[in-house]
Structure 1
Amino acid sequence: MNLFAEIKTLVLETLGAMAAEGVLPEGLDLRNVSVEPPRDPSHGDMATNAAMVLAKPAKMNPRAIADGLSARLATDGRIASVEVAGPGFLNLRLAAGQWQRVIPSVIAAGTDFGRSDMGGGEKVNIEFVSANPTGPLHVGHTRGAVFGDALASLLDFAGYDVTREYYINDGGGQVDVLARSVYLRYLEAHGQKVAFPDGTYPGDYLIAVGQALKDRVGDAYVDQPEDVWLQDVRLYSTDALLNLIKADLAALGVTMDHWFSEKSLYGTGRIEDALKALDDKGLIYQGTLEPPKGKLPEDWEAREQTLFRSTAHGDDVDRPVRKSDGAWTYFAPDIAYHYDKIERGYDQLIDVFGADHGGYVKRMKAAVSALSDGKVPLDVKLCQLVKLYKNGEPFKMSKRAGTFVLLRDVVDEVGRDVTRFMMLTRKNDAPLDFDFDKALEQSKDNPVFYVQYAYARVNSVMGKAEIATDDATLAKTDLSALTHEAELALVGKIAEWPRLLETAARTHEPHRIAFYLYDLASDFHALWNRGNDAPELRFLQDDAAATAPRLALIRACQLVIGAGLGILGVTPMNEMR
């Protein structure tokens, strides 16, 4: 049950009737009409912008539309009152008992309450993390991994067919550097003293890989030229590091559906096929780019290259796909990779990148638009940096990694659940400060604790109740006793859940779930605290008839919290210790 959607349907049907009566013009676009909670709860239960968004296309005064709509809505039994505010906003108050109808629906649906078919089974590919297979995942990857996984769960909940995908960057020179670094650790395992040149990977995480290589091939590669061992060590090292990455993701609760190798694009004709698809549309040509804006590099030279006419699809400049020496640019395999996803039949593509990929967004969107003839949208989500703090100081870098803080450092310090929730306490494109001390603090200032505590408190109350607390019984409870403003505030927040889910799914913003859960927990704890001063608000009463509706209310709250935590990949806690 989605009470907001129900009232929105009423508003849209009323507008349709007004058009049929000639009060409004026929054929108005109603897509931007919304029904949502008012910013100020004192203004009412719901608000609609209908008069404001329709005034211009209807060529009418918004107040005139609002007055006509108000008079008609007031005749519906679900509406207690309608007030026209300002230039034409409508504030609605629901009739008694309308909010309470939500509670049995929640209990009957369980943690599936709010699940929808909004997505209509559309196939969505979400590519996230996609770190080079040259080392373990670091804290920056952690944020992208949590964001991508939570977004996938959110879209699944909203009725999409979602694939979680990892793009293995194993086609470039960085994998050769990895192989050389592992070879040095291999020589070290044979007792040789080695030095790591600039540009290699000196982290301790390769010690075990070098030792394992020694166990596998013995001394076969010792003091041998690179052409003897490079390809074998490259493959071996990539597999070893991918296993390390998979273990890191598992520690964070992330499982990929598909792993795609960049290397599989080379020498197979797949890059050529993608560029031919663009060429057939007249979007590939030989040309010379203008010099870069700003300070001109000393070594810049105008050279004829193979270019993609990305400006035809919204980019700022055309992009090279093949260098003057015939080698592919980094952009070429990325085009081929996205062409592969389009060919696999996805209806939407989502890429989750680090903040340093901001300059890559327009060219990638242009490529997908061109390859799909504008039919497959690409949404690129950039995750900003994470700053770690402990004891009031920036968290020091990991010795194991050499240059960065590992994902495992964070998970080992605070646990998977805390890590995941805290990574979603800011919108993805905003910087995030992760304070280890606050993440483990048991207070209102720690959002994950505050939400988990609400869930556990309900469990505690249910355990003390002297009446039946099974869902089947609670779903049949008479809820007419829930009339206090604090109780109705909690009911109203619970009723927002289906609408919030669809909004979060539509905007690809899973952080909205974390924000909502904190607000819901706040309303729950506020009601709990009101009971300290007002005994009639306590969840457990001497009278079973007064206890039952309050248990139904908090059980519904617990189910929504459980559903939200499930989307975020966080385990609900039955008790706090």
Structure 2
Amino acid sequence: MNIFKAFETDIRKLLEELAAEGAIPAGLDSSRLTVEPPREASHGDLSTNAAMILAKPAKMAPRVLAELLVAKLKGRADVASVEIAGPGFVNLRLTPDVWRDRIRDVLNAGTAYGDSDLGRKTPVNVEYVSANPTGPLHAAHGRGAVFGDALASLLEKAGYAVTREYYINDAGAQVDVLGRSAFIRYREALGEEVGEIPAGLYPGEYLKEVGQALAERDGNRWVGTDESDWLPACRDFAIAMIMGWIKEDLGVLGITMDVYSSERALVTAGAVDKALTALEERGLIYTGVLEPPKGKKPDDWEPRPQTLFKSTDFGDDVDRPLKKSDGSFTYFSNDIAYHFDKYKRGFGSLIDVWGADHGGYVKRMQSATTAVTEGKASLDVKLCQLVHLMQNGQPVKMSKRAGTFVTLRDVIDQVGKDVVRFIMLTRRNDQTLDFDFAKVTEQSKDNPVFYVQYAHARCRSVLRHAATALPNLDQAPAALAAAANLARLDAEEEMALAKRMATWPRVVEAAAEAHEPHRIAFFLYDLASDFHALWNRGRDDTSLRFLIEGDAELTTARLALIAAVATVIASGLAVMGVEPVEELRS
């Protein structure tokens, strides 16, 4: 149960009652009505802006309307107190049983607690990673991969029908460069002395593996042949092999894509022509000359007629070229076709996860998506900032295999996939992230992954001890929910835990609406902090310990509480793609 949504629904009904009684006008627009935690915990448990947003259309003073609402709310058995704050906010304090009942909700729902029908099975396409198939994934790719996958899981928990997609950029100049680079390594594998890799090609050691594998498959078949013969073969072989590595690395990270889309397949199928024809039919393509780019001197600029998309009609800064000087399509044209294809596959809600270096590309792609779908699809682009890899505060050395960067697999192999996934979500996606190998594995409160996992492990430890101390107690969640007299939970720290868990459904919905999975990590840290606070109080005050000798009723109630805490932590970790641990060892 989402207590905030429940009260929001009830307050709307109370407003309808007031309208039926003639106390306020009928038909007021309450779409902006909210019920949220107050900014200050001392102000109560819930706060609503109902009187503030309805006062003007009702032609009433906010406090007058608030008083009418307060009179209705005071009669509720689940409301301990209600008061008007400031110009007209209504603050409520709920009875303790409201929060205790949420513990039963958690135990009965299990890790499905927090599931929502907010999305109403609306199809959403989340495209992430989509690294060029020219080399292994690096750490920054890992951040986008974790962010995208966690966002997809979050949206699923909130009731959306999510498709995870990887767009393979296997068309254009960069894969031809890959093919030429692979050909050199192929010749090298056959015993030829190739010398230094020419500038403009990929020098990474990983291409030696590609060249060796190609030589083993084809022998000297391509030696002495024209580029037109060997380039397609080398290019396609390299793409397939590197995509195999990428899929393997994603699998180690716990990521499985639903769809792999090929840029080359789209181009070959004529999708670009179809998308541009759709724009042309709407008068959105023309031939023109662009103004010189900012920062360019006039004598550096060579104006020429170009095929342009009227991107400025949809909020972009300038119109954008669709064809190169040789008449071939720009990457932008291909990307328009790709997003049009996603729309035609049934997705009106599109989310792209890109690296920070693509920030200048956002407006044009959103403009094009709006244009080519006639406003029927929306595109949200989430940019992931850089990851700074360090060891005790010092930058880590580059990967020997990759040559120019640290591979994602190197990171996973050193600290494990769960640490990688959790830490990558401890900052907003648009903030840079410091990933210190020493700090992310230390056992301290400053390491959020340890702090949250330690809370779960402590909960499970108590439950294991309880199985020995109370062998006849059925610890099945539903049994605990039925047997526990939760009225025995009255300590401040116990109620804080119950209240924190009750916010989980709201956190899920709010994070899903904002496309911000990092909120899950923040929530779990706060929940762990509340739990550890209760644990530490129990060290000083034996009456607050979980297992109370001679008081089975209180012990059962507290076991129900910590079983619920473990369940909510597991629910949150599942969204992040992290396995909860049963015990932690030094």
Q: TM tier, shorter chain?
A: over 0.9
| Farther off after superposition, 18-27 or 143-152 | 18-27
The answer as to whether partners of 2:96 and 2:495 remain within 8 angstroms in 1 is no
Matches of 1:112 and 1:200, distance apart in 2:
50
Aligned to 1:488: 495
Matches of 2:9 and 2:94, distance apart in 1:
15
Matches of 1:109 and 1:528, distance apart in 2:
25
1:311-335 deviation per Cα after TM superposition (whole angstroms, max 9, x unaligned): 2222222111123432211100000
The answer as to whether partners of 1:306 and 1:324 remain within 8 angstroms in 2 is no
Change in CA separation of 1:396 and 1:298 when aligned onto 2, cut-off 3 Å: farther
Match status 1:4 vs 2:8: no
Aligned to 1:505: 512
Matches of 2:522 and 2:330, distance apart in 1:
41
Matches of 1:26 and 1:316, distance apart in 2:
45
1:43-95 deviation per Cα after TM superposition (whole angstroms, max 9, x unaligned): 21111222223334444332222222222211111111012111222221002
SS at match of 2:39: coil
Tell me which of 569, 575, 578 is aligned to 1:570: 578
The answer as to whether partners of 2:34 and 2:50 remain within 8 angstroms in 1 is yes
Aligned to 2:19: 19
Question: Deviation at 1:169?
Answer: 0.4
| Farther off after superposition, 301-310 or 548-557 | 301-310
User: Match of 1:398, as an amino acid?
Assistant: S
The answer as to whether partners of 2:250 and 2:256 remain within 8 angstroms in 1 is yes
SS at match of 2:287: strand
Aligned to 2:261: 260
Aligned to 1:471: 477
Match status 1:85 vs 2:93: no
Change in CA separation of 1:58 and 1:434 when aligned onto 2, cut-off 3 Å: farther
1:102-152 deviation per Cα after TM superposition (whole angstroms, max 9, x unaligned): 111110110001111111111111110101000000111000000000011
SS at match of 1:322: coil
Aligned to 1:520: 527
SS at match of 1:380: strand
Stretches of structure 2 that go unaligned for 5 or more consecutive residues are none
1:206-221 correspondence runs (5 A) = 206-221=207-222
User: Match of 1:424, as an amino acid?
Assistant: L
Matches of 2:298 and 2:529, distance apart in 1:
56
1:452-498 deviation per Cα after TM superposition (whole angstroms, max 9, x unaligned): 11111111101111332221320112100111111100000000001
Aligned to 1:555: 563
Aligned to 1:306: 307
The answer as to whether partners of 1:106 and 1:559 remain within 8 angstroms in 2 is yes
User: Match of 2:203, as an amino acid?
Assistant: P
Aligned to 2:131: 131
Aligned to 1:146: 146
Question: Deviation at 1:298?
Answer: 4.5
User: Match of 1:241, as an amino acid?
Assistant: I
The answer as to whether partners of 2:343 and 2:373 remain within 8 angstroms in 1 is yes
1:114-125 correspondence runs (5 A) = 114-125=114-125
SS at match of 1:375: coil
Change in CA separation of 1:57 and 1:306 when aligned onto 2, cut-off 3 Å: farther
1:48-67 correspondence runs (5 A) = 48-67=48-67
1:236-271 deviation per Cα after TM superposition (whole angstroms, max 9, x unaligned): 111011101111111111111100000012242210
The answer as to whether partners of 2:138 and 2:407 remain within 8 angstroms in 1 is yes
Aligned to 1:426: 427
Percent same amino acid among aligned pairs?
A: 60
Aligned to 2:338: 337
Match status 1:536 vs 2:539: no
| Farther off after superposition, 290-299 or 476-485 | 290-299
Matches of 1:337 and 1:549, distance apart in 2:
55
Question: Deviation at 1:297?
Answer: 6.5
Question: Deviation at 1:170?
Answer: 0.6
Matches of 1:264 and 1:233, distance apart in 2:
18
Match status 1:271 vs 2:288: no
Matches of 1:172 and 1:227, distance apart in 2:
15
The answer as to whether partners of 2:392 and 2:439 remain within 8 angstroms in 1 is no
1:15-414 correspondence runs (5 A) = 15-194=15-194, 195-296=196-297, 298-414=299-415
The answer as to whether partners of 1:424 and 1:514 remain within 8 angstroms in 2 is yes
Matches of 2:478 and 2:416, distance apart in 1:
35
Matches of 2:35 and 2:270, distance apart in 1:
52
Change in CA separation of 1:67 and 1:571 when aligned onto 2, cut-off 3 Å: same
> How many residues of Structure 1 are paired with residues of Structure 2 in the alignment?
577
Matches of 2:156 and 2:207, distance apart in 1:
37
Matches of 2:513 and 2:58, distance apart in 1:
27
Q: What CA RMSD, in Å, does the superposition of the two structures yield over aligned residues? A: 1.4
Matches of 2:435 and 2:25, distance apart in 1:
53
The answer as to whether partners of 1:304 and 1:324 remain within 8 angstroms in 2 is no
The answer as to whether partners of 1:455 and 1:572 remain within 8 angstroms in 2 is yes
User: Match of 1:242, as an amino acid?
Assistant: M
Change in CA separation of 1:341 and 1:297 when aligned onto 2, cut-off 3 Å: farther
Matches of 1:228 and 1:324, distance apart in 2:
26
Matches of 2:426 and 2:255, distance apart in 1:
18
Matches of 1:34 and 1:313, distance apart in 2:
32
User: Match of 1:206, as an amino acid?
Assistant: L
User: Match of 2:388, as an amino acid?
Assistant: K
User: Match of 2:259, as an amino acid?
Assistant: H
SS at match of 2:104: helix
Stretches of structure 1 that go unaligned for 5 or more consecutive residues are none
Question: Deviation at 1:364?
Answer: 0.9
Matches of 1:231 and 1:370, distance apart in 2:
35
Aligned to 1:444: 445
User: Match of 1:350, as an amino acid?
Assistant: I
Matches of 2:394 and 2:28, distance apart in 1:
57
Question: Deviation at 1:288?
Answer: 1.6
User: Match of 2:476, as an amino acid?
Assistant: D
Matches of 1:65 and 1:360, distance apart in 2:
48
User: Match of 1:34, as an amino acid?
Assistant: T
Matches of 1:401 and 1:52, distance apart in 2:
59
SS at match of 1:47: strand
SS at match of 1:42: helix
The answer as to whether partners of 2:205 and 2:400 remain within 8 angstroms in 1 is yes
Matches of 2:144 and 2:582, distance apart in 1:
29
Matches of 1:248 and 1:138, distance apart in 2:
10
| Farther off after superposition, 319-328 or 546-555 | 319-328
Question: Deviation at 1:187?
Answer: 1.6
1:137-183 deviation per Cα after TM superposition (whole angstroms, max 9, x unaligned): 01110000000000111111111111100000010111111111111
